[in-house]
Amino acid sequence: MLFRDTDSRIIALGFARMADAVANSFLIIVLPLYIASGNITGWNLGLTEAAITGIILGTFGIVNSVIQPLAGQLSDKIGRRKIFILLGLILLAAFNLSYAWTTSYLSILAVRIIQAGAVALTIVGSVALVSELSPKVGRGQNMGIYNSFRLIGFGAGPLAAGAVVTGGPYLLLGLEITGFEASFYGSAVAALLSALLVNLLVSDPDHIRPSKSKMYFKVRSGETGNIFDPIFTLAIATLLMAACIVLLAPIEPIVNERLGQGPMLFAVEFAAFIGTQAVVQPLLGSLSDSYGRKRFIVWGLIGLIPATLLQGIVTAPWQMIIARLLQGVTAAMVFAPALALAGDLAQEGQSGAQLSILTVSFGLGLAFGQFISGFLVEFGYFLPFATGALLAGMGLLLVHTQIDDDRQTEDTPATDPDPVKSPACNIKTMKQDFPH
């Protein structure tokens, strides 16, 4: 069974991040509608509404990505993860609430920037903690379980947001509030609930000590035959994958008009992708523990190409739902195995900093995808999705040529010294230490 050998703290952290993800995904659906509602004023620099939305959503990813390596390295030096998770969640709750009082493009952008920093603290603490609590053979499964809980919340958020926005206005303590305000209040409560769960149920592992070493990051490979370092390759592939999966968000009003649907159906389409990932990630992560990470990443990137293209072709909501389901499966084949492989290669005491390379890449990919979608859609609806498919193909080429086949066959604790954990080593070493 998937949960049999999983540390209870990982499951607790997954539940906590599920509540937090509800709060985050609320905003992906609500903010484009809020910006398009006519209640937002300010200097638009002559840009279209779709472009402004892309900038606001994309800036989150950039700021988040800048802060993550710094937060990861600081958490390594302190030797603690939980405090970063709690601080991030508390800040997130406060600034989710503040959206209710934003009335200009600049104020929304300012809140989004601060919120990005809060989420960065939560991400680096959570991913490092899951990796450190996992045995090497089992890390893929645990990453999949953790991500599944988080994704369940991320998928439930849009469904709830669509219903809350369209169902307003509401009466709260005798006062009338709009559907937008109700969404912001609800996302703040979800973040606070997540902080409470982390505080009560999650603890740092006893064996982690403060690290004095500097963050190790290498672009070039030290092995003959490969150009790029494996962790760097995984980071670029993650970035390109993330850009593909977020193309819909900035152009929600355009998608709704093309498919003849409202916010609720768009929320279903968004949640279809997340729900599929939540279901299949634990299984795919577990299989990658036994059969190797690379093959899943490669096949995921192959499938991501047609799954992304389909979203630029479909003309009915049910077709978009199918395309999103397919994209969910293919993205799951990339994400959990890539994180697990990076954890296998991370140096001792450097999980926070080195795993942040992949989480940073994911955030940058989301920002990149939102930017290109918001701008390219002005030249044709299909163009953003064709560009996304091209990016997936580039990621496929990188992984296929720069990462050698790997396979895990022994259950080695994550804290045991092992040459595989050094990012400087090539994955060929894994085949020598863990024969087929």
Span 25-36, pLDDT tens digits: 777 778 888 887
| Per-residue DSSP letter, 41 | B
pLDDT of the residue at 420:
37
Helix, strand, coil abundance in the chain, percent, nearest 5: 75, 0, 25
For the chain, the average pLDDT equals 78
Query: Inter-axis angle of helices 8-35 and 82-98, to 10 degrees?
Result: 20
Percentage of the residues of the chain whose pLDDT score is greater than 70: 81
Query: 254 or 12, which is more confident?
Result: 254
pLDDT of the residue at 432:
37
Query: 91 or 7, which is more confident?
Result: 91
Q: Tell me: the pLDDT tens digits for 187-226?
A: 888 888 888 888 888 888 776 666 665 555 567 666 656 7
**DSSP-based three-state secondary structure for 48:** coil
pLDDT of the residue at 136:
65
Segment holding 172, helix H or strand E: strand 170-172
Distances (CA, A) of 421 to 7, 216, 234, 349: 21, 12, 15, 11
- In the chain, where are the structural domains located? 8-433
Neighbours of 419 (CB within 10 A): 11
Domain 8-433: which topology? Growth Hormone; Chain: A; (1.20.1250)
Alpha helices, DSSP H, located in 377-413: 383-402
Q: Measure the CA–CA gap between 107 and 99, rounded to whole angstroms.
A: 9
Residue 346 has pLDDT above 70, yes or no: no
| Per-residue DSSP letter, 353 | H
pTM across the whole model: 0.66
Distances (CA, A) of 430 to 402, 418, 420: 15, 10, 6
Residue 161 has pLDDT above 50, yes or no: yes
Q: What is the Cα gyration radius of the chain? A: 21
**CB–CB of 334/237 below 8 Å?**
yes
Nearby residues of 144 by Cβ (< 8 Å), 6 or more positions away: 281, 282, 283, 284, 285, 286, 336
Assign 3-class secondary structure to 278-289. HHHHHHHHHHHH
Q: Tell me: the pLDDT tens digits for 199-210?
A: 888 888 776 666
Q: Taking residues 126-153, what's their average pLDDT?
A: 77
Unique residue bearing structure tokens 């990621």: 395
Residue 431 has pLDDT above 80, yes or no: no
Q: Tell me: the pLDDT tens digits for 288-311?
A: 877 778 888 999 999 999 999 999
Q: Taking residues 114-138, what's their average pLDDT?
A: 81
Q: Tell me: the pLDDT tens digits for 64-101?
A: 878 888 887 788 788 788 898 899 989 988 888 888 88
**CB–CB of 356/71 below 8 Å?**
yes
413 band by pLDDT with thresholds 50, 70 and 90: very low
Distances (CA, A) of 152 to 22, 27, 277, 420: 8, 16, 9, 32
pLDDT of the residue at 204:
80
Segment holding 95, helix H or strand E: helix 82-98
